[in-house]
C-alpha cells in the first residue's frame, strides 16, 4: 500500500477499537508505528484526528496513509488442524447458536486456552465452530476444572459488544457449587480483595493485606440453596467482579471450601465417601446484553460428577429458583 486509502468501517466492525481495527486489517503494522501515525495526524476517522482507543462506528471512514508493502501484508494464516473427533466433540458442546453468539457447556477438565503442557484446549478447536461464518472469538474464560456456560462471539462486532457488557458489569453470572460446611450467615456478600503471589503457585490468589499495592477489589454474592446433614451445602455464587479464582478463594475464605478444590481448601476439600474428588464448581447461567438487542439468558446442565453428587445428596434443582431474590433487593 503506497498511497492514501479511505476504508469504510463495516457493520461487523462496529464498536471495535481503532488500534484493533488496524491489527485485523494490517497485522504486520507495528503498534509503535501506528502510534506515530496517529500522533502525527496521518490516520483520521471521518476526517478528524483520533486516538488508538476510540471505538469505530459502522459507516465511518478511516484514512490510512501509505504503509509500504511490508506493513500492508496480510498475516500468514495459522495452521489449525482440528481432528474429526475433536470437531465432533466441540460441536456437541453447543447449547445456543444464533447469527452473533455461540454458547457452550464447557466440560470440567478442558482448558479454554493453551499453555505450558496444555496441548489440547478449546481455543485450538474453534475452527470447527466457524460453520458458515468466521472463527468464533473467546470473550471470557472459565478455569480448566470449572464447567458450564461459556459465551463465544461469532463476529468482531459481537465480540466488541459482549466485551463492553462484561466491562460494564451488564452480565449476571450464577455459579453452583458443593461446599464443605455451611456458610454463616446462609446468604450474604463476600467483599475481600485478592492478590497474586509469586513462586511456583503463582496462579493462586490470596486475601490481600492492608496496603498491598497489587490487591484488586473482589466481591461475590452467595446464597445457600440446600444442606446435607450440616456437613455439605449447595451454594449459589454470583461474582460481582471477575478476578482469577475469585469464587474458589472467597469460598475458602468463609471456611466453606468447594468440594474437590485442594488448591484452596487443602485436605478439607475432599469429604470422602461416594463424593467424587473433582472440583464441584459449575457456571450454571448467564444473563447478558445480546449484541443484536435484548437479553440472552442461558442455563447449562450440571456435569456428570456433579449430577451424581446432587442425586446422592437428594438435591432438587427447583430449589435454586430465585436464590438471590432477597439479597438483590
Predicted confidence (pLDDT) per residue in 94-113, tens digit: 999 999 999 999 999 999 98
Q: What span, in angstroms and rounded, lies between the C-alpha atoms of 7 and 324?
A: 48
Q: What percent of the chain has a predicted confidence (pLDDT) above 90? A: 63
Predicted confidence (pLDDT) per residue in 115-141, tens digit: 767 788 999 999 999 877 688 999 899
Q: What span, in angstroms and rounded, lies between the C-alpha atoms of 157 and 154?
A: 9
Q: Report the DSSP pairing between strands 137-138 and 147-153.
A: antiparallel
Q: What is the structure's pLDDT at 60? A: 87
DSSP alpha helices (H): ranges in the chain? Answer: 18-25, 31-39, 68-71, 84-91, 156-167, 246-253, 262-265, 304-313, 325-328
Examine the pLDDT at 47 and tell me if it is beyond 70.
yes
DSSP 3-state percent helix, strand, coil across the chain (nearest 5): 25, 30, 45
What pTM was computed for the model?
Answer: 0.79
- The catalytic residue among 84, 86, 98, 143 is 143
Q: What is the mean pLDDT of the chain?
A: 90
Is 261 tagged catalytic?
Answer: no
**Among the ranges 36-50, 152-166, 186-200, which has the highest mean pLDDT value?**
36-50
Examine the pLDDT at 70 and tell me if it is beyond 80.
no
Q: How confident is the model at residue 296 (pLDDT cuts 50, 70, 90)?
A: very high
Q: How confident is the model at residue 59 (pLDDT cuts 50, 70, 90)?
A: confident
What's the CA angle centered on 53, arms 290 and 203, to 5 degrees?
75
Cβ atoms of 9 and 60 closer than 8 Å:
yes
In order of 56, 248, 254, 272, 320, the CA distances from 185 in angstroms are 47, 18, 10, 25, 17
Q: What is the structure's pLDDT at 329? A: 55
Q: How many CB atoms lie within 10 A of CB 274?
A: 9
Cβ atoms of 87 and 122 closer than 8 Å:
no
- Tell me the mean pLDDT in the region 282-306: 97
Q: Report the DSSP pairing between strands 205-207 and 101-106.
A: unpaired
- Tell me the mean pLDDT in the region 12-19: 82
Q: What is the structure's pLDDT at 232? A: 97
What's the CA angle centered on 17, arms 16 and 21, to 5 degrees?
75
Dmax (CA) for the chain in angstroms is 75
DSSP alpha helices (H): ranges in 97-245? Answer: 156-167
Of 76-80, 241-245, 315-319, the one with minimum mean pLDDT is 76-80
Examine the pLDDT at 57 and tell me if it is beyond 70.
yes
- Tell me the mean pLDDT in the region 249-262: 96
Q: What is the structure's pLDDT at 78? A: 58
Amino acid at each position: 500500500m503506497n498511497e492514501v486509502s479511505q476504508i469504510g468501517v463495516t457493520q461487523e466492525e462496529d464498536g471495535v477499537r481503532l488500534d484493533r481495527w488496524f491489527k485485523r486489517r494490517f497485522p504486520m503494522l507495528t503498534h509503535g508505528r501506528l502510534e506515530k501515525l496517529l500522533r502525527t495526524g496521518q490516520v483520521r476517522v471521518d476526517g478528524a484526528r483520533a486516538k488508538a482507543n476510540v471505538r469505530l462506528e459502522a459507516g465511518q471512514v478511516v484514512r490510512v496513509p501509505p504503509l509500504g508493502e511490508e506493513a500492508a501484508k496480510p498475516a500468514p494464516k495459522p495452521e489449525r488442524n482440528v481432528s474429526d473427533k475433536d470437531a465432533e466433540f466441540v460441536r456437541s458442546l453447543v447449547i445456543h447458536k444464533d447469527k452473533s453468539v455461540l454458547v457452550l457447556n464447557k466440560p470440567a477438565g478442558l482448558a479454554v486456552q493453551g499453555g505450558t503442557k496444555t496441548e489440547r484446549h478449546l481455543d485450538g478447536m474453534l475452527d470447527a465452530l466457524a460453520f458458515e461464518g468466521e472463527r468464533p472469538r473467546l470473550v471470557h474464560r472459565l478455569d480448566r476444572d470449572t464447567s458450564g456456560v461459556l459465551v463465544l462471539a461469532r463476529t468482531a462486532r459481537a465480540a466488541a459488544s459482549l466485551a463492553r457488557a462484561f466491562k460494564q458489569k451488564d452480565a449476571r453470572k450464577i455459579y453452583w457449587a458443593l461446599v464443605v460446611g455451611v456458610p454463616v450467615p446462609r446468604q450474604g456478600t463476600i467483599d475481600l480483595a485478592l492478590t497474586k503471589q509469586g513462586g511456583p503457585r503463582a496462579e493462586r490468589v490470596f486475601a490481600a493485606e492492608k496496603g498491598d499495592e497489587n490487591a484488586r477489589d473482589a466481591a461475590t454474592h452467595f446464597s445457600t440453596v440446600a444442606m446435607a446433614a450440616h456437613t455439605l451445602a449447595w451454594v449459589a455464587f454470583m461474582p460481582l467482579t471477575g478476578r482469577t479464582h475469585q469464587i474458589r478463594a472467597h469460598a475458602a475464605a468463609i471456611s466453606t471450601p468447594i468440594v474437590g478444590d485442594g488448591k484452596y481448601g487443602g485436605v478439607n476439600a475432599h469429604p470422602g465417601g461416594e463424593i467424587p474428588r473433582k472440583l464441584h464448581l459449575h457456571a450454571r447461567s448467564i444473563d447478558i446484553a445480546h449484541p443484536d438487542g435484548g437479553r440472552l439468558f442461558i442455563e447449562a446442565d450440571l456435569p456428570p460428577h456433579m449430577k451424581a453428587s446432587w442425586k446422592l445428596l437428594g438435591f432438587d434443582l427447583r430449589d435454586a429458583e430465585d436464590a438471590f431474590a432477597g439479597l438483590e433487593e
